[in-house]
Amino acid sequence: MRAKTSIKPEQTAIASLPLSVSIAGGKLHPRNRHQGRYDFARLMQAEPQLGSFLATNEHGEQGIDFANPAAVKALNRALLKEYYGISGWDIPVNNLCPPVPGRADYLHYLADLLATSNQGRIPKKSGVQVLDIGTGANCIYPLLGVSEYHWQFVASDINAASLGNAQMILDANPKMAQQISLRLQASANAIFKNIVFDDEWFDLSMCNPPFHTSLAEAREGTQRKWQNLGKENASLNFGGQDAELWCAGGELAFIQRMIKESSAIATRCFWFTTLVSKSASLPGIYAALKQVKVVEHKTIAMSQGQKQSRLVAWTFLNPVQQAAWRKLRW
C-alpha cells in the first residue's frame, strides 16, 4: 500500500465514497467503544495530523478517503491513542492497516465466550492468557486486549520484520509491553508447534487467517475494492504482506490445518478460536472439527457495516476438565 497525496479539508471529492462514521449501524458488540459516528473533534486532539485528511461531502458529513492509506493510518493512531491509551502506533508501508472497531469486536466476543464457560462471569483479568496467531506488524489484538481486559498475550508471527515493528510499538507502551510476549514462528508449515511451550496453558487462542488462495486472487480483491471506492487506478493495494493476504488453499485450508494441529495440544488451551470470513468455509471447518473429535464447538456471528463475519470456537475439554480448569485458573 503506497501513500497518495492527502485530502485537504476543503475538498469534497469523497462525496460518493464511504465515510468513517458508523461502521456497523449499531451492530457492534455492546461493549465496543465505537458505536455511532466518530467524534472527529475529539480524535484530532489525540492525533492532530488527522485533520489534514478530513473532507466534507454534500451532506455536510466529515470523513476520510479510505483509499488513502495515510488517512486510514492517521485515523487508527487517533482511535488507539484516544480510546485505548496506545501511543506511537505505526506500521510499515505495504502492511495491513486493521480497522480498529472490528478488531475490538473479536476481543469482546471472546470475553463473552469465556463468560459462558464461567457461570456468566468474565474470568479475573490478570489470569487470562491468550495466544494471538499471526499478530502482524500492527500487534493490534494484544494491544486492544491488554487495554480492554488486562489479559496476558503471546503474539506469534512468521515474519521477523513484522515482529520488529510490533516491538517498536511495545517499546512506546512499556506498561502494556509487560503483558505481551512476541515469538517468531520459524516454520512456515507450523502454527502452534514451536510457539506453545511445554509448561504453558492458554485460556484462548485467536487468529485472523489469510483470506485468499493466491496472490492473483488477492490482487483481484484489491481491484474490486478500488472499483467500489470509485477509483480507476487498481494497481495499488490496500496493504498486506503475502502471509497476511493469502496462503495455499486460502482461509479454509489454513483453518483446517490449525484445527488438526490444535488436537496435538488439546488440553493446553480451553478455547481455540478463529475468524471466518467466508460462510462457504464453514462446512469444511465443521468436518475438520468432527474429524479431530472436539467436545464442543460454537459459531458466533459478527457484523460490521455491510460485512458479515463470524468466529468459530472449539474445545477438547469435557465438562469435568472444564470445571477443573475454572477452579485452577479462574
pLDDT in tens, 251-271: 999 999 999 999 999 999 999
Total structural domains within the chain? 1
Name the packing angle between helices 250-262 and 282-291 (round to 10°): 20
As to burial, measured by CB atoms within 10 angstroms (0-12 exposed, 13-18 middle, 19+ buried), residue 104 is buried
181 is a domain residue: yes
Q: How far is CA 243 from the centre of its chain?
A: 14
Q: What is the pLDDT of residue 210?
A: 87
Cβ pair 25, 31 in contact under 8 A: no
Q: What is the pLDDT of residue 323?
A: 96
Q: Domain range spanning residue 320?
A: 93-329
Cα dihedral value 52, 67, 206, 102, nearest 10: 70
pLDDT digits (tens, 9 = 90+) for 200-212: 999 999 999 986 4
Q: Tell me, what CATH number does 229's domain have?
A: 3.40.50.150
302 is a domain residue: yes
25 is a domain residue: no
Q: How far is CA 202 from the centre of its chain?
A: 18
175 is a domain residue: yes
Q: What is the pLDDT of residue 143?
A: 98
70 is a domain residue: no
Q: What is the pLDDT of residue 261?
A: 98
3-state secondary structure the chain: CCCCCCCCCCCCCCCCCCCCCCCCCCCCCCCCCCCCCCCHHHHHHHCHHHHHHCEECCCCCEECCCCCHHHHHHHHHHHHHHHHCCCCCCCCCCCCCCCHHHHHHHHHHHHHHHHHCCCCCCCCHHHCEEEEECCCCCCHHHHHHHHHHCCEEEEEECCHHHHHHHHHHHHCCHHHHCCEEEEECCCCCCCCCCCCCCCCCEEEEEECCCCECCHHHHHHHHHHHHHHCCCCCCCCCCCCCHHHHECCCHHHHHHHHHHHHHHHHCCCEEEEEEEECCHHHHHHHHHHHHHCCCCEEEEEEEEECCEEEEEEEEECCCHHHHHHHHHHHC
Which stretches of the chain drop beneath a pLDDT of 50?
Answer: 1-26, 212, 214, 218-219, 226, 229, 233-241, 246
140 is a domain residue: yes
136 is a domain residue: yes
88 is a domain residue: no
